[in-house]
Amino acid sequence: MRKLWLIFAQTATVALAILFVIATLKPEWLPQRNSGTQVVELRQAEPGAVAAARAGSYSDAVRRAVPAVVNVFTSKEIKTPRHPFLDDPLFRQFFGDRFDEPQRTTGLGSGVIVSAKGYILTNHHVVEAADEIEVATADGRKMRARVVGSDPDTDLAVLQVPGGMLPPITLGDDAGLRPGDVVLAIGNPFGIGQTVTMGIVSGLGRTPRINVFENFIQTDAAINPGNSGGALVDSAGNLVGINTAIYSRSGGSLGIGFAIPVSTARQVMEQIIQTGTVTRGWIGVEAQEITPEVAESFNMKPASGALISGVLRGGPADKAGVKPGDVLVAVEGKPVRDPSSMLNLVAALKPGAPATLKLRREQKEIDIQVEVGRRPKLQRR
């Protein structure tokens, strides 16, 4: 019995060795299993399911707005202090005039085509002091642009390029915006190309104190360097704002971005196109916010409005009888919430025209007629 077991074990070992050698050197000699075509089952989405999923997409809004958003490239010469060595004859003998060549710096931003005549809205800080401006459209065209005019007080500028089949964007109504509405930011962040980001309206009437006149739309749609001057559109692709600034500690988006409302941008743009500049109303007063501490010191109840803290002697308000301590509660029937809204309401008045101011004086409300003056230009350093 033992002998038979040894013979069986040796035979099995030899057979396995032969099988291993054949499988390694001549696998085609062995019979193939499942030699037929293998069938792989895949799941294909139904056309109706794709359409239903796209119902929640904003691709149609993007398709409408993107052709009207351009990339803006600027260049300007920078002046650097001249080193005393450059005037040394021996130094110039060895190095020549290579250090006398002017140095240039470049910048980038975005813009929005608002007219088929080639008018483009962007930010003042995008094109400030630039001596060469080039815009690139979404379809790849590049053209030189000129500055029609700019308004540093709102950080807006109007450019113009040669007209011809430029697709203007459709202007929306920022007055209908509510916190929570979906908005899309379109621009050229970091110069990587036209980019669309999505967010919501986080707040309205923001005043982060970066411009003289402020009424910003706050959004959490990602806005980064290069997006300045780009479009903020609603879910239908209509322009509701011009992306302008971000709050950031790193230089990138932290979810707090600011856009100039399209209503403000339109007013500024129309004046610049017509006259090349922006004219604003002025009454010659200084105002401050009515905080609980201020209300207590003036023996008044905390309320909306702007406390007149100073009146320019001989100015429109002084001639009309406005006094320090008055509270301005309305301009031409429009309520004043705070000094910032007062500044915007007064600026919108037409210089030389009469306007009605509603004041609260000694717990009584009175109406005063004032002849609006022209706001003087700020002296910028």
> What would the two tokens of residue 20 be?
């291993």
Annotation says 125 is catalytic: yes
Q: Report the distance separating Cα 371 and Cα 19, nearest Å.
A: 109
Q: Report the distance separating Cα 356 and Cα 223, nearest Å.
A: 40
Q: Which of 110, 150, 202, 228 is catalytic?
A: 228
DSSP strand pairing (257-261 vs 281-282)? unpaired
Q: Report the distance separating Cα 76 and Cα 138, nearest Å.
A: 24
> What would the two tokens of residue 294 be?
């201020």
DSSP secondary structure string for all residues of 213-240: S--EEEE-S---TT-TT-EEEETTS-EE
- How many degrees, rounded to 5, is the angle at CA 187 between CA 182 and CA 191? 145
Which residue's structure tokens are 């002296």? Answer: 379
Say if CB 306 and CB 336 are below 8 A apart.
yes
Q: Report the distance separating Cα 213 and Cα 55, nearest Å.
A: 39
Q: Report the distance separating Cα 195 and Cα 187, nearest Å.
A: 6
Q: Report the distance separating Cα 241 and Cα 315, nearest Å.
A: 34
> What would the two tokens of residue 344 be?
């915007």
Task: From 75, 245, 269, select the one nearest 159 (Cα to Cα).
Answer: 269
Q: Report the distance separating Cα 177 and Cα 261, nearest Å.
A: 10
Q: Which of 151, 155, 234, 326 is catalytic?
A: 155
Say if CB 306 and CB 288 are below 8 A apart.
yes
Say if CB 154 and CB 171 are below 8 A apart.
no
DSSP strand pairing (239-246 vs 285-289)? unpaired
Q: Report the distance separating Cα 291 and Cα 67, nearest Å.
A: 47
> What would the two tokens of residue 290 be?
């009515």
Annotation says 124 is catalytic: no
Say if CB 260 and CB 244 are below 8 A apart.
yes
Active site residues: 125, 155, 228
